[in-house]
Amino acid sequence: DVKLPETWKDKPDNYILKISKYLSETEKLPVTIVSNDTNVRVKASVIGVNTEEYRHEMVDEDYLKYNGR
């Protein structure tokens, strides 16, 4: 059973954080939360879960163009 800080209420974001922490600690799986929500990323950092900021336009558009093949 993974414990989160007691002040964190039962909210969907906190449930995701709890599952992420469980998978990283108990199952030893590499877990990274990708989100634009700064609060989620800060909370994940507090409990030791890796985070990344979601960036919509990360793929180079030239890569997606049809090249005749």
Helix axes 12-25, 38-47, angle to 10 degrees: 30
Q: Name which residue leads in pLDDT, 33 or 58.
A: 33
**pLDDT > 80? residue 60:** no
Asked whether the beta carbons of 14 and 43 are under 8 A apart, the reply is yes
Q: Which of 31, 56, 59 is nearest to 45 (CA)?
A: 31
> Does residue 58 carry a pLDDT above 70?
no
Q: What is the pTM for the complete model shown?
A: 0.75
As a whole number, mean pLDDT of residues 42-61 equals: 85
What is the C-alpha separation between 36 and 61, in angstroms, rounded? 22
Structure tokens at 29: 């799986």
Q: Check if the beta carbon of residue 23 is closer than 8 Å to that of residue 43.
A: no
Judge whether residue 16 has pLDDT over 90.
Answer: yes
